[in-house]
Amino acid sequence: MRVVLAEDLFLLRDGLTRTLTEHGFDVVSVDNGPALRQALLDERPDVAVVDVRLPPTFTDEGLQIALEARRRQPGLPVLVLSHYIEQLYANELLAGGEGAIGYLLKDRITNTEQFVDAVRRVAAGGTVMDPQVIAKLLTRSDARGRISDLTAREREVLDLMAQGRSNSAVAAALHFSESAVAKHIAAIFAKLRLDASDDDNRRVLAVLAYIKG
């Protein structure tokens, strides 16, 4: 699996490159915005792992280039890394209403297994959001619209779904049976008016609705 990695800090970039390579990824690494744009054009990666803030602007250049690439190549998996929790970044990343996206804080990527798992989940079309990002977004005023119809337990289930957990992992975390989790998820789909279709797609849509509030 080919990865384009964009990170301007040498030690972090080198460490992430080594980690991904050791887990079987083919990595092309760059350290600035223009190089990222070119690499995404040339390499056509299976997934892009991108620092939000890259030279030369050190604003949100990495994120904007990744979003630009997704417009050229719809569905391009993108995992964004940041030191900061920014609602604007999350909103821009989620605006397309599609999966194959992730937002992790850099503190989280010190856990090798979690980081590699996040890359694989995003590459496979999943949605991975850092628990701290979710928590921050949920400290806003009470969620609007149909999200507010969810019970506390349904929100808890959806929160775990938003972290990229499978039904079995949600069941283990909440000490439920998988059938109980499935019933909660069915109720969530119904309350969010997500019509019957592919459950993976409905799962992503539910997570996006939850995070965007």
At CB < 8 A and 24+ separation, what contacts does 38-41 make?
39/4, 39/6, 40/4, 40/65, 40/66, 40/69, 40/73, 40/76, 41/69
**C-alpha–C-alpha distance, residues 179 and 167, integer Å:** 9
Q: What is the pLDDT of residue 143?
A: 41
**C-alpha–C-alpha distance, residues 195 and 189, integer Å:** 7
Q: Which residues contact 108 (CB under 8 A, 6 or more apart)?
A: 114, 115, 130, 132
Kindly report, residue by residue over 16-41, the tens digit of the pLDDT: 999 999 999 999 999 999 999 999 99
Helices (H) and strands (E) in the chain, counts: 10, 6
Which parts of the chain sit beneath pLDDT 70?
87-88, 90-91, 94-98, 133-145, 164, 194-205, 207-213
**C-alpha–C-alpha distance, residues 154 and 188, integer Å:** 7
Q: Which residues contact 129 (CB under 8 A, 6 or more apart)?
A: 90, 102, 103, 162, 163, 164, 207, 211
What are the structural domains of the chain?
Answer: 2-130 (3.40.50.2300), 141-212 (1.10.10.10)
Helix (H, G, I), strand (E, B) or coil at 67: helix
Kindly report, residue by residue over 148-184, the tens digit of the pLDDT: 788 999 989 988 887 767 788 889 999 999 889 889 8
